[in-house]
Amino acid sequence: MSTTVFDSALFRDMFGTAEIRNVFSDKALIERYIEVEVALARAQARCGVIPAAAAEEIAAKADYASLDLTLMQHETEIVGYPILPLVEQLSKCCGEAGRYVHWGATTQDIMDTAVVLQVRDALVIVERDVQAVRGLLADLAKRYRDTPMAGRTHLQHALPITFGYKCAVWLSMFDRHAERLVELRPRVEIGQFAGAAGTLASLGDKGLEVQESLMAELGLGVPQATWHVARDGLAETLNFLGLVTGSLGKVALDVMMMMTSELGEVYEPFVKGRGASSTMPQKRNPISCELMYAAAKGVRQQAGLMLDAMIQDFERSTGPWQAEWVAIPEAFALTAGSLAQAKFMLAGLDVRTERMRQNLDMTRGLIVAEAVMMGLAPELGRQVAHDVVYAACRVANDESISLLDALLRDPEVADRLPRAELQRLTDPANYLGLAPQMVDRALERPGRVQR
């Protein structure tokens, strides 16, 4: 019986993906535990700590299919951790070689390393999807490089921009996330093998050799020092996911607001019935964006939980470690779900360029009051030009006329600039600044998947 959105038959593909669930499923986790135990036996055999024949027997017989999962679940609840129940079953499965299962290890060694293996697989998915989002945003930035629209600050018209520029701003965030991920992975993809108090005392002078051999077996980095209670790597990972989903939430919020009836500048892809209301047939709700927005809030909570869980006592914590068991799978599920929604939404984004132009013109030129001020400044001085244009804006607002008409009424303006020049200055499409060139610069960024 499901109890959360992550395992709900109704909601699980809205707040996650089948692919990410496979990475963090019970089966995958237990298989990772077994993988680490087998790799440990092989590493110890290579270092002469246990017999080679025993390692071969453990590798051959340690198998998920042989486990009694009901018994393992019952004993895990009693013990508080799954490794002792697992080791007991694996030891029986492996016969004489079973005495060498888990040799010199502690529970957290196996669990931490298994989680790192899961995180490594999950980050491959995140990396792939971040690259896909980068490609989609680059396409949009290029296609709409010169498409004028209203730039908005404090929810009001500010200056004209282009839709391509807006997409380039979004793109820049994900370019940085791609860089962060490259830098992050070597810091977090580090295994754990240190023994009861982190000193590898049970293996004598073979401890570090076994540790290095184990990490080579698993393809993980060798720890600088035991990280049983030094959890910055996993905390950094979840806060990275918070950054990714925060950026996705920013994109989602922009798109949701641009989908409002009053703006109508973009829409999520049309799928019959998607975003429909049970009572209002006209509705086309921003479903993907809403899920992305919600995911950002959820991941933020789990990232905060990981920061809290960093504060651990002495050489083995009492409680914070267990909090990670909640935070890590849920944060990755939400991130994968949000990225999947973003890929769907951006790939089919319905961009209404004519509505963008209509909205840009709705203030009858007021959005480019700065352009007129700067055009008059050489003639009148900057402050006088500001005051003259400010007064014209008030007239335009009060009388519902265009800024051009209000300016032409003022002899101080009409005598200084010809009508054609005032028309040019009050056309928003002529005041895009360097928005198109900024798009070009964003598109030159290396390392992006080309579509």
- Longest Cα–Cα distance of the chain, Å, equals 103
**pLDDT for 380 beyond 70:** yes
Closest CA to 366 of 129, 157, 125: 157
The answer to whether position 88 is within a domain reads: yes
Q: Give a yes or no: residue 256 inside a domain.
A: no
* Domain CATH for 383: 1.10.40.30
Run of H or E including 296 = helix 287-309
Q: Please, are residues 30 and 86 in contact by the beta-carbon 8 Å criterion?
A: yes
What pLDDT digit, counting tens, does each position of 247-268 carry? 999 999 999 999 999 999 999 9
- What count of other Cβ atoms lies within 10 Å of the Cβ of residue 226? 20
Determine which one of 2, 66, 202, 277 is catalytic. 277
Average pLDDT for 164-188: 97
Structure tokens at 281: 């047939």
pLDDT per residue as tens digits for the range 203-216: 999 999 999 999 99
| Residue pair 296/338 in contact by the 8 Å Cβ criterion | yes
pLDDT, residue 203, reads 93
Q: What is the CATH number of the domain that holds 82?
A: 1.10.275.10
Distance CA 327, CA 303 (A): 7
**Pairwise CA distance, residues 185 & 183, whole Å:** 6
The whole-angstrom separation of Cα 327 and Cα 103 is 30
Asked whether residue 383 is domain-assigned, the answer is yes
Share of residues in the chain with pLDDT > 90 (%): 84
- Residue 286 structure tokens: 């921003």
Would you state the pLDDT for residue 415?
84
* 70 token code pair: 């009901």
Residue 451 has pLDDT above 50, yes or no: no
Q: How far apart are CA 124 and CA 253, in angstroms?
A: 27
Instruction: Write down the residue that tokens 């440990």 correspond to.
Output: 40
User: Which among 339, 338, 123 is positioned nearest to 237, based on CA atoms?
Assistant: 123
pLDDT at 442: 94
Residue range 46-64: average pLDDT? 96
Q: What is the mean pLDDT of residues 431-442?
A: 94
Is the pLDDT confidence value at 448 over 80? no
Residue 422 belongs to domain spanning: 366-426
Task: Return the ∠ at Cα 133 (arms to 131 and 135), rounded to 5°.
Answer: 70
* Beta strand 266-267 pairing with 156-162: unpaired
Residues paired with residue 156 on neighbouring β-strands, in sequence order: 153
What's the rounded Cα separation, in Å, for the pair 189 and 409?
69
Domain count, the chain: 2
Within a domain: 3: no
In a domain, 217, yes or no: yes
In a domain, 87, yes or no: yes
Residue 294 has pLDDT above 90, yes or no: yes
Alpha-carbon distance 213 to 40, whole Å? 8
H, E, C per residue of 371-390: HHHHHHHHHHCHHHHHHHHH
Strand partners, 190: 221
Q: Catalytic: 157? A: no
Q: Is 228 marked active-site?
A: no
Q: Catalytic one among 74, 154, 278, 338?
A: 154
Question: Is residue 134 within a helix (H) or strand (E), and if so which, with residue range?
Answer: helix 107-143
Please state the rounded mean pLDDT for residues 321-350: 96
Asked if residue 266 belongs to a domain, the reply is: no
* Pairing outcome for strands 148-153 and 266-267: unpaired
The pLDDT of residue 401: 94
Q: List the one residue out of 234, 263, 441 whose CA is nearest residue 332.
A: 234
From the CB of residue 259, how many other CB atoms can be counted at a distance below 10 Å? 20
Write down how long the chain is: 451
Domain boundary among 210, 226, 242: 226
pLDDT confidence tier of residue 427, bands split at 50, 70 and 90: very high
Instruction: Tell me the residue type at 208.
Output: L
Same domain, 201 and 52: yes
Mean pLDDT of 56-70: 95
Q: Which amino acid is at 57?
A: E
User: Which tens digits make up the pLDDT trace of 385-423?
Assistant: 899 999 999 999 999 999 999 999 988 888 888 999 999
Q: What is the pLDDT of residue 334?
A: 97
Cα distance between residue 382 and residue 375, in whole Å: 9
Least confident of 165-169, 338-342, 401-405, 413-417: 413-417
In a domain, 233, yes or no: no
